[in-house]
A and B are shown apart, each in its own frame.
Chain A
Amino acid sequence: MIKKVLFILFFSLLATKFSFGNDELKNKIYKNLRCIVCQGQNVYESNSDFAVDLKKLVEKKLSNGETEQQIYDYLTSRYGEWIVMTPKLNASNAMLWVIPVGIFLIGLIIISKIIRKSKINS
């Protein structure tokens, strides 16, 4: 039951798409790119030369009609996965989701055992 609810929740989350205005999309991309020459800042927050160049490039690519994903792919091929702040869903990153959800499920199993035992006892 709970699994099903979670499943639905997860997919409703993925399905929720927003229509972004051009500015909003631009800022969304800036916020999702790491300013790799700065300490722990994203491109949106940084005023470094690197971030300024990257902002201009993103703007140009968007006006050339490239999609958000194409921009990420391009930058990933140049700078590695590190530059995109949202981890990719791939085999080596799977643990990011598997560990927490796995532990949550183990927790639920333990609780369900505690409850089942109580039924036997009573």
Chain B
Amino acid sequence: MSHKIRIIILSILLILIFLFFYKVLLSEKTYQPRSMIGKSVPEFSMENFKDINRRITNQDFSTKEIVVLNFWASWCVPCRIEHPMLNELKKKYKLFLVGINYKDNASNAKKFLNELGDPFDAIGSDSKGEVAIHFGAYGIPETYVIKKNKIVFRHIGPLNQDVVKAIVALK
């Protein structure tokens, strides 16, 4: 091999390494998981927050065209911040909202809803955090949009106006 070819190979190799690390450096650091998108709603059955005599399951709203499912708790500070956005989704855009009350105390949760409003059409209690894991959730707050029984969108962390727009656009 002549020197020229070796130098060309060296240059190409270094440029590739540079481009690779350059892309990594500039890529988004906030991790947005892709694993649950496109999958059917996982089956679940949990205590009904509003009516202790009945349970809540994924069958209850399988006929709905579009469902917004939100994990929340009264002890979670960002949930307080995003709550007005949930109210807006209900009142302004008339979406069907399911709340999942995550590892919470029932009376605190009721107080929370009395104070900030109750946008949810149904609420289930996930007292052990198992349903959250079943949905592949990272923590709360976290929001899923279900269309025809398929998860089409998810957002980790508190909702903001951009996310609200994105959810409404899915209608």
* A residues with CB within 8 A of B: 36-37, 49-50, 53-54, 56-57, 60, 75, 77-80
The number of A-B residue pairs with CB atoms under 8 Å apart is 36
With most chain B CB atoms within 10 A of its CB, the pick from A60, A75, A77 is: A77
- Given contact pairs A78-B36, A78-B133, A80-B34, A56 touches B139 in the complex (Cβ within 8 A): no
Within residues 107 to 163 of chain B, which ones have a CB less than 8 A from any CB in chain A?
A: 128-130, 132-136, 138-139
Q: Is the CB of B35 within 8 A of A78?
A: yes
Nearest chain A CB to B42 CB, angstrom units:
8
Nearest chain B CB to A39 CB, angstrom units:
11
Q: Can you give 6 A-B contacts (C-beta < 8 A)?
A: A49-B139, A57-B130, A75-B133, A78-B134, A78-B135, A80-B33
Count of residues in B whose CB is under 8 Å from the partner chain: 16
Task: Choose from A53, A75, A77 the contact partner of B132 (Cβ within 8 Å).
Answer: A53
In Å, the complex CA distance between A77 and B134 comes to 9
Q: Is the CB of B129 within 8 A of A49?
A: yes
Q: Is the CB of B136 within 8 A of A78?
A: yes
Contacts of A80 in B (CB 8 A): 33-35
In Å, the complex CA distance between A57 and B129 comes to 9
Contacts of B42 in A (CB 8 A): 78
Within residues 1 to 29 of chain B, which ones have a CB less than 8 A from any CB in chain A?
A: none
Contacts of B33 in A (CB 8 A): 79-80
Nearest chain A CB to B90 CB, angstrom units:
27
CB-based nearest B residue for A48? B139
Task: Choose from B103, B128, B136, B139 the contact partner of A79 (Cβ within 8 Å).
Answer: B136
In Å, the complex CA distance between A54 and B132 comes to 10
Contacts of B129 in A (CB 8 A): 49, 53, 56-57
Task: Choose from A50, A56, A60 the contact partner of B138 (Cβ within 8 Å).
Answer: A50
In Å, the complex CA distance between A50 and B132 comes to 10
CB-based nearest B residue for A36? B138
Contacts of A50 in B (CB 8 A): 138-139
Nearest chain A CB to B41 CB, angstrom units:
13
Q: Is the CB of B138 within 8 A of A37?
A: yes
Nearest chain B CB to A66 CB, angstrom units:
14
Q: Is the CB of A53 within 8 A of B138?
A: no
Contacts of A54 in B (CB 8 A): 133
In Å, the complex CA distance between A75 and B34 comes to 14
In Å, the complex CA distance between A56 and B133 comes to 11
In Å, the complex CA distance between A54 and B42 comes to 17
